[in-house]
Amino acid sequence: MLPFADNSKLQSVICSPSDPLSLQSDIDPLVSWTHSNSLLINPRKCAVMRFFFNECSSPVYCVDGDQISVPLCHHDLGIIVCDLSWASHYDSICSKANSSLYLIHRTFSTSLKCAVKKQLYLSMVRSKLCYASQLWRRQLKKHILLLERVQRRASKYVLGDYTSSYRDRLIQLSLFPLLYWLKLLDIMYLVKSLKFPSDNMSILEFISFNDSATRSSASHKLKHNFCRTSRSHNSYFNRIVRLWNKLPKIDLTESLATIKTKLHVCIISLESFSREL
C-alpha cells in the first residue's frame, strides 16, 4: 500500500488467475478498517489502472459491493495517467501553463521589471511544466516542442523582445531550454535520493552501480537495464542511467547547490545548445 495525504494506492503484479483474488483480499480488510475508524471510502473516487504488454482478462474489483471503475485516463495527484504515452498529460500541462502565462500578461503591466516578470514565469508557469517530470518526461520531438513553445512565448513577454532568436533570449535571461532543465531535474532527483535516502523507498532498488572499475566502465557509473519496449527505455530508471554515465564523477559530499552549479556547466557542454533550439 502506498499512502499519500488523503490518497492511497494498492498495487499488484497479476500473473495468474489467483492474483486478482489476492488483490481483492487486500482491498476487503482495508475497507473494513475504514468502517471501524469512520473513514469511509467513496467507490466513485476509486479507479483501477492496468498496465500490460499483451491484452489480458479484466477482473472486477469491488469496494463495499460497488464495482470500481476502469477509466482510460485517470487524474492522479496532478498527473494524467493513460497508456504511459503521456500525450494527454503534455496537452494538459501546456494548456494550464499557457493559461497562467495569459493571466500574468493580463494582470501585470508590461512595464514591470524584467526580473519580476521572470520570477512570475518561473513560479507560475515553468513550475507547471516541470512538476513530477521524472515520471512523464519523454524524448519524442513533438512533446519537447510542445513544452518549448510555451517558454518561447514567455521569453518574449518577459524581455519585451519579439525580434531576437529564442536562443538569444534564453541567454539573456540565463535560462535553460526546457529539455535541458528537465534533464537537470532528473539528475538532481537521483542526487537527492542518494544523499538523503528515503525510509519509504530506496533508489538502489531500481538502479545499481558497477561493482568494480574496468577499462569500459567505472565504479561511479550505473549499470544498464534490459528494456523490452520503447516506453520502458524512456522511463526514469532507464534514461537516468544513460544521462548519469555521460557525466564526470559527482561528489555527493558536496552541497546540493554546489552540485547543481557544476551540473549546469556539464549539461551545457554535453548538449548542442544551438542544434536543439
Tell me, what's the pLDDT at 8?
Answer: 85
In a domain, 76, yes or no: no
In a domain, 135, yes or no: yes
Q: Does 185 share its domain with 239?
A: yes
Nearest alpha carbon to residue 10 among 36, 28, 32? 28
In a domain, 260, yes or no: yes
| Three-class HEC string of 95-124 | HHHHHHHHHHHHHCCCCCCHHHHHHHHHHH
Whether 84 shows a pLDDT value over 80: the answer reads: yes
C-beta separation of 46 from 63 below 8 A: yes
Tell me, what's the pLDDT at 16?
Answer: 85
Q: Which of 144, 160, 175 is the last residue of a domain?
A: 175
Q: Does 186 share its domain with 171?
A: no
Q: Which of 109, 142, 175 is the last residue of a domain?
A: 175
Q: Does 155 share its domain with 188?
A: no
In a domain, 11, yes or no: yes
Domain ranges, residue 264: 181-270
Q: Does 56 share its domain with 115?
A: no
Tell me, what's the pLDDT at 217?
Answer: 59
Mean per-residue pLDDT of the chain: 89
Specify the pTM: 0.85
For 231, the grid coordinates are 516506453
Tell me, what's the pLDDT at 274?
Answer: 45
Q: Does 42 share its domain with 115?
A: no
Instruction: Tell which wins on pLDDT, 277 or 63.
Output: 63
Whether 270 shows a pLDDT value over 90: the answer reads: no
Q: Which of 151, 175, 199 is the last residue of a domain?
A: 175
- The number of distinct structural domains making up the chain is 3
